[in-house]
Amino acid sequence: MLVKAFVILVLIAILASLASGLVFLMRDSGDSDRLVRALTIRIGLSFALFLFLLLAFATGLISPHPVVPPQ
């Protein structure tokens, strides 16, 4: 349950960074680096989440469930 909560929190942080990047894109005049910083944070969070999911799968914290076709 803790892993699911962590993944959800990181996904919310990724969406918040993406939204702030959109706001900076619309409001800044072009001489600010806030847009680049926001999108860099989003990419870093996405990469970290991907690595966490790979590590969690490798250590057995998460496992895929079998796909059972409906009968």
Q: Residues 21, 39: contact at Cβ < 8 Å?
A: yes
Give the chain's domain count: 1
Question: Mean of the per-residue pLDDT values for the chain?
Answer: 91
In a domain, 35, yes or no: yes
In a domain, 68, yes or no: no
CA distances from 34 to 12, 23, 24, 25 (A): 19, 10, 7, 9
Give the range of the structural domain holding residue 38, as residue numbers without chain letter: 2-59
CB atoms within 10 A of CB 62: 14
Q: Is the pLDDT of residue 11 over 90?
A: yes
In a domain, 17, yes or no: yes
Q: Is the pLDDT of residue 1 over 80?
A: yes
pLDDT band at 30; cut points 50, 70, 90: confident
Is residue 39 classed exposed, middle or buried when 0-12, 13-18 and 19+ CB atoms within 10 A define those classes?
A: middle
**Per-residue model confidence (pLDDT) at position 54:** 96
In a domain, 70, yes or no: no
Q: How far apart are the first and last CA of the chain?
A: 30
pTM to 2 decimal places: 0.81
